[in-house]
Amino acid sequence: MCVGIPMRIVQSHGMSAVTEGRGVRREVSLMLTGDLPVGTLVLVHKDSAVHILTPEDAAATNAALDEVEAIVRGMP
């Protein structure tokens, strides 16, 4: 299963950016979204930003990922 992770852009340089989310920092491509400013929330999949998120969308996605993680760890 492949899952997109909500991340916030913390540095932007052209068509790539450094993002942070869920305790991870990674460089991602912005080829699918275009150049975006620092602070923008994006859905990251396979080191590419694939969608711009609202804060509400990011929070809902993180909540769902928290639930999946709890199930995987055996915590209902």
pLDDT digits (tens, 9 = 90+) for 34-73: 999 999 999 999 999 999 999 999 999 999 999 999 999 9
Q: For the full predicted model, state whether its pTM sits above 0.75.
A: yes
Beta bridge mates, 12: 17
Give me the CATH number covering residue 21: 2.30.30.140
pLDDT bucket at 3, cuts 50 / 70 / 90: confident
**How buried is residue 17: exposed, middle or buried, by Cβ count under 10 Å (0-12/13-18/19+)?**
buried
Give how many domains the chain has, as a whole number.
1
pLDDT, residue 9, reads 98
Q: Which domain holds residue 34?
A: 5-72
Q: Are 4 and 44 in contact (CB under 8 A)?
A: yes
